[in-house]
Structure 1
Amino acid sequence: MKLVARSVYVAGLGPGVGKGTVALGIVELLSRQVARVGVFRPLVSGNGRDSLLTMLRERYPGPVGYDESYGATIAEASALIADDRREELIGRIVERYRAIERQCSAVVVIGSDFADKPAEGREELPRELAFNARLATEFGSVVVSVVSGEGRSAESLAASARSAYHSLDDLGATVVAVIANRVPAAAAGGVPDGLPVPFWAVPEVPVIAAPTVGEVAAALDATVFSGTPGALDRDVLDYVVGAAQVPTVLEHLTEGALLITPGDRADLLVAASAAHAAGTVTLAGLMLTLGEPPDDRAVRVIERLNTGLAIVIAKGDSYHTISAAGRIEAQLSTPRKVDAALGVFEENVDTAELTGLLDVARSSRVTPLMFENDLIEKARADRRHLVLPEGTEERILRATETLLRRGVADLTLLGDPDEINRRAREIGAEIGGARLVDPATSQWREDFAGRYAELRKHRGVTLDLAYDVVRDVNYFGTMMVAAGLADGMVSGATHTTAATIRPAFEIIKTVPGLSVASSVFFMLLADRVLVYGDCAVNPDPDAAQLADIALSSARTAAAFGIEPRVAMLSYSTGSSGSGADVDKVAAATALVRERRPDLPVEGPIQYDAAIDPAVAAAKLPGSVVAGKATVFVFPDLNTGNNTYKAVQRSANAVAVGPVMQGLRRPVNDLSRGATVKDIVNTVAITAIQAGAR
């Protein structure tokens, strides 16, 4: 379906109002609706590199390159204004915008960042408000106005929102909403009186407004003495100057603080590192002043503490260093900041209403990005509680932070809470919203042992043996799901597939009426999503089992918004071939039709006839499935596993899964090579399955 390009202009009154958070939220929202979302900035800094534009283009790849995604640099604009060529500047920006608009289904424009009060060297630039209103009108954009709520009372915030709306409206802009960002809790409330458009207040989140250790080091031209990229990505929530004795400094250390102290204060460096390692306080990092490196003996002690903190060395003294550090503005430069910004935006803005205001129709194409973003939205809409047994694994901890910040699910992590918290401190992951449970000491262990012994008594399992078995994190997590203490489980980052799903087969078991549990992969192609089953569990299903796999796969597809049209695959199409393997697929197809007369299904059918309309027209004319199948059921594991991997590698497709199906409650297995993104997607899928159940 060809869409008319839509344009949303994010306009803020002055710098520092948080346009980045709002723009990110709107791009994320549109990325669930259309395949090609463009991002455009009318003006960027003098060197042409804009951190927000860079981040958005990397997160939401589109058809337009970076150099085509902005109108002009500040230097170019200044030169044109100085020569009294204002209209030429406007014309150039509009021309470059039109080029990106022609290639995208929707465009988000992020307004200028220069202040309404002109800075030195920018005296001739047009005022920000009028400039942005003019461009929004020229682009044909609707405007979302952003105002700062920082430090405001409810009355002051209401007045600012009304002023922003009426000022832009008076300049001819079409304002569809006003969003206040960084709003104190005391100022949050309803829509201000006299504001004729929707109003949303987004509260301040310290992690978004805080620079990272790396950003502070770069801004101060400091040298990185030690620290991994992850350590440099820690957020600096506070600054503490270390000039007093150890007890006094320890008393004044705060959560997320960057300790700034002369390099010769080895006592403070060791003491602060020990406090961080002990969990007394979680620091952001250590900054040494006066260009002094730390004493080697102190460094050896700090290394043994394994704090995970970065040490950076600044050239200036402590006073000037902290003065300069306090003026550093944070960027949406790390995945955790992006997740935090999206989480607070989605929690406080009515995204359904905003979607309606932006009037963007959903594309018939489904790209991988659209599908993955839609997973997050579906899971957020019906938030579930999931258990992750591998609570000390770094990827699980980083995924937990993302999932909690985005509001995807409530989580329980299994393991020793002290060890989980220690690992989280080492890598700088914020997991405070997760419940931590140690199976060895849990109050549920005895009850779980009794339940498991009763379930497995036919296998000779005694109560004593069951007590030992349920201490295993996968068995404990599965028992939580069976007992209703969690809605689903995701494991496998450090465990084998057998270790993850065997407890599910023993405890949760299959849905009544199904002979087998099975799995599917979501195959994310460039313009559509296909469902492949079974590619991971059943080696050689018989006809009845194959029918069950087809029915389960169709239900899974429907649960994730994919209209199921089922192709029962074989090396023969229709009656063109014969043999036991073809007969099995034909019998399975007949069983599916008998049990689900409403479900479009075709089989036996070859893969090319199932996916290619031209081949389908020749081999099975008139079929409602051939040429447009969405669910592909393979006759055996050998065929399915090899095919999904061949398509994944040859077509550069993203394979999401395996997703278990047919269990009474959802349990999903991760690859041991799973990335943080894979874990986030799998948790979202499991949450959706739990809601659909």
Structure 2
Amino acid sequence: MTRAVYLTAMGPASGKSLVALGLVELLSRRVGRVGFFRPVVQSGDDNDLALIRARYELPDERCGYAFTDSERSELGNASRAGMARVVERFRQIEAVSDFVVVEGTDFTGASSPIELDVNLRISEHLGAPIVVVVNGHDRGVDEIVERFRVGRDSFGDDAISAMVVNRVGPSVLGPLRERLAQQSSDDPVWAVPELPELRQPSLAQLQGALGAELVAGDPDDLTRSVGHVKVAAMSVPNMLDHVEDDTVFIAPGDRPDVVLAAMLTRTSAAYPSVSGVLLSGGLRPDDRVTSLIAGMSGGVPVPLLSVSTDSFDTAIAANEVEGAITPGDRRKIDIALAHLEEHVDLAALGERIEVGRSDVVTPIMFEYDLIERAKAAKAHIVLPEGTDDRILRAAERICRRQVCDLTLLGPQDQIRTRIADLGLALGDIPIIDPLDSDLTERFAKRYHELRAHKGITLERAHDILTDVSFFGTMMVYEGLADGMVSGAAHTTAHTIRPALEFVKTRPGTSIVSSVFLMLLADRVLVYGDCAVNPDPNADELADIATSSADTASMFGIEPRIAMLSYSTGASGTGADVDKVRAATERVRELRPDLKVEGPIQYDAAVDVDVARSKLPGSDVAGQATVFIFPDLNTGNNTYKAVQRSADAVAVGPVLQGLNKPVNDLSRGALVADIVNTIAITAIQAGVEHA
């Protein structure tokens, strides 16, 4: 039976969207098919619907609404016909979902008592328990507690599963939590402090609301928050006295002094960093000024946006733009989820609304499970490529979600400047420059000891250890970090060579290999080796198989190994088939605990009907989870074919067989790929420590 929860607020501007996002996030980790429904939206392009649909890849049949605000008169005060339409639309979504989050109305144009009654009636008709959000903004403890009591009395203790007091002022938070803990109700109540950044618009939102045109700058910079909007109507020295972090200045395009001063705040440690400049009046900077800006080192540091309105009207319009968590703003989504997870026990909330865990594993569920397991590992990962923008953006996501501790390698000033340029919140993240670190001498001596038999002198060792890959690997070897992730800007050979030299393979393993975790629509498969070994012999293939099985188990996948070939069972002959047959027997000798079948063709490994025909009675055929390819050519091409043709997510390559975890990135890796690889490395480190 489909289950549902009804999310409603006690008034406008409660931050209900934040809690809705958190609820769907919780469900996405536990059930295969999440649904999202809104009885009434302000318009058909409702932001919350768009946000949930985009982030969780929900099809239209699992994400929709019943009425727009202009049609809400048809709903009336919970009229019979209106309720019938709400229930009908909900049932359509419920029929194709395992759990549905229903987000109530937005209190637009209706009085609170009427709106509360409408939401109560809808929740009763849908048979859904209620989570209530109370707005704590600019309210004292007594007022918040009173609104909490009104909400509990209005909906009734039996209907309420939990309550969240959102947007609580920092000075009120402690006393409020003490008062709420004294309440007699058994329903959990969480107080979430105000986070101004969530209410601030991004530059992109400001651009959309004002109809502004991006004249110059990096489009990725439009995700920066707008904390202050100020008209630059004074001279530059006086203007600089009013610079604060995340300020957007408004000035006519014929004020090159203001434009250039704003640009320089991004490259100077003397002033906070400006988010952007709005050029008012439709005026653009002179071409000579534009050329000067375009030629600045690292490109245009601050986005320039042009509007047709004058400075006064632009300032009024800009200050009226309210921030929202929009579908394309991944950074704000990360901030929002990290904030909610810090202050609301989502696991306890899941128990209150009776969310179980599905047997089906979707890609989203697997990726979120990675993050949760990485958090539990409490690992420290070193990232040698600290000057790469993708690495820095990934590091911010990791830090926001408190996944693990990180250290960046590279020139400190350069990295700090780039962090500021990108508007990232990385605080005091440790940065080590191998060219200027006390550790370099220690590491060089250690490397000399390990490699002197290869003719490495101390002087040469010192030169080698200034390389970020060698330095980062030595941090792992010496226990100063638990794992390393590199490869966004370096080759695979450059990344893993230091590990092969002195981290070495773990006992009982003769070869370093790799797997990709293939996230299909309803399952996760393990493919190996697709990245490292061109043509392994039978013993090496067996080693790859056992390592891949262990990796599968590490990530909660029951290993059922298919040793792939162009022949199944005893039907084929030839050197290639014989190699796979010998490797299969070797796996059985090494690990009698593992389920393994080979040689076997791919269709017999995945298709139950084919398996029944070709290998009846096999406990692997038709249900394999670990696929071992006979050579790199086959493995690499197959994983890419499945990735593109089946719209699968390929996570990896995950290196296996080393004494300590070191993982390689593709040089085309996206930020999300880097985040996943860091999480995987943290989990591997946690297993090593266990």
Q: 1:511 to 1:11 in 2, by over 3 A?
A: same
Question: Match for 1:281 among 267, 272, 275?
Answer: 272
Report whether the alignment pairs 1:105 with 2:98.
Answer: yes
1:237 and 2:220 aligned = no
Paired with 2:166 and 2:198, the residues of 1 have a C-alpha distance of 11
Residue number in structure 1 paired with 2:682: 687
Name the counterpart of 2:345.
Answer: 350
Superimposed CA distance per residue, residues 128-153 of structure 1 (whole angstroms, 9 cap, x where no aligned partner): 21111211121121222112232344
Question: 1:208 matched to which residue of 2?
Answer: 198
1:12-161, aligned counterparts within 5 Å?
12-46=9-43, 48-65=44-61, 69-78=64-73, 81=76, 86-115=79-108, 119=109, 127-161=114-148
**Structure 1 residues 307-318: aligned runs within 5 Å:** 307-318=300-311
Aligned counterpart in structure 2 of residue 332 of structure 1, from 325, 328, 332: 325
Question: What's the secondary structure of 2:650's corresponding residue?
Answer: strand
Q: Cα gap change, 1:270/1:641 in structure 2, threshold over 3 Å: closer, same or farther?
A: closer
**Distance in 2 between residues matched to 1:630 and 1:304, nearest whole Å:** 53
Given candidates 361, 364, 369, the residue that maps to 1:369 is 364
| Runs (5+) with no aligned partner, structure 1 | none
Question: Which of the residues 136, 150, 169 maps onto 1:163?
Answer: 150
Larger displacement relative to structure 2 (200-209 or 458-467) = 200-209
1:482 is matched with 477
Partner AA of 1:12 in structure 2: A
Return the match for 1:493 from 488, 503, 515: 488
Deviation, 1:471, is 0.9
Q: Is the contact between residue 404 and residue 433 of structure 1 (CA under 8 Å) also seen in structure 2?
A: no
User: CA separation in 2, counterparts of 1:418 and 1:196?
Assistant: 53
Within the candidate set 412, 418, 437, 1:417 is matched to: 412
Residue deviations 1:533-587 (CA, integer Å, cap 9, x gap): 1111122223332222111111111111111111222333333334443343333
Does structure 2 retain, via aligned residues, the 8 Å contact 1:157–1:187?
Answer: no
Counterparts of 1:531-542 in structure 2 under 5 Å?
A: 531-542=526-537
Q: Is the 8 A contact 1:386 1:490 kept in 2?
A: yes
Tell me, in whole angstroms, the C-alpha distance in 1 between the residues paired with 2:490 and 2:514.
18
Residue identity over aligned pairs, in percent, reads: 53
Kindly provide the amino acid, as one letter, of the partner of residue 521 in structure 2: A
Contact 1:63–1:104 under 8 Å retained in 2: no
User: What is the CA distance between 1:31 and its match in structure 2?
Assistant: 0.8
Q: Does 1:390 align with 2:385?
A: yes
With 104-113 and 582-591 compared, the bigger mean Cα shift is at 582-591
Residues 466, 165 of structure 1: alpha-carbon distance in 2 compared, 3 angstrom cutoff = farther
**1:220 Cα shift?**
3.5
For normalisation by structure 2, the TM-score amounts to 0.93
Could you tell me whether the CA contact under 8 Å between 2:32 and 2:98 is conserved in 1? yes
Report the alpha carbon displacement of residue 264 of structure 1 after superposing the two structures with TM. 4.3
- In the alignment, is the contact (CA less than 8 A) between 1:269 and 1:298 conserved in 2? no
1:633 aligns with 2:620: no
| Cα distance in structure 1, aligned partners of 2:373 and 2:149 | 34
1:79 and 1:107, CA in 2 relative to 1: closer, same or farther beyond 3 A?
A: closer
The answer for the alignment partner of 2:459 in structure 1 is 464
Match of 1:6 among 3, 6, 24: 3
What is the rounded CA distance, in whole Å, between the counterparts of 2:78 and 2:25 in structure 1? 36
Q: Which range is displaced more, 485-494 or 433-442?
A: 433-442
Aligned-pair CA distance for 1:500: 0.9
Q: Decide whether aligned partners of structure 1 residues 25 and 443 sit closer, same or farther in structure 2, where only a CA change above 3 A counts.
A: same
Shift of 1:154: 4.6
C-alpha offsets along residues 465-507 of structure 1, whole Å, 9 cap, x if unaligned?
Answer: 1111111111111111111221111111111111111111112
- Contact persistence 2:382–2:407 (CA under 8 A): yes
Amino acid at match of 1:176: S
Pairing 1:428–2:398 present: no
Tell whether the 8 Å contact from 2:61 to 2:93 is kept in structure 1 after alignment. Answer: no
Matches within 5 A, 1:265-664: 265-279=255-269, 280-305=271-296, 306-333=299-326, 334-664=329-659
Q: Which moved more, 1:353-362 or 1:555-564?
A: 353-362
Give the aligned residue type for 1:131. Answer: V
Cα distance, 1:222 vs structure 2: 4.1
Distance, in Å, in 2 between the alignment partners of 1:640 and 1:300 is 49
- Note the aligned Cα RMSD (angstroms): 2.3
- Distance in 1, matches of 2:219 and 2:548, equals 41
Gaps of 5+ in 2: none
1:252 aligned counterpart, secondary structure: coil
- Alignment partners' CA distance in 2, 1:222 and 1:100: 38
Amino acid at match of 1:53: L
Counterparts of 1:63 and 1:291, CA distance in 2? 41
TM-score, with length taken from structure 1: 0.92
8 A Cα contact 1:567 1:632, kept in partner: yes
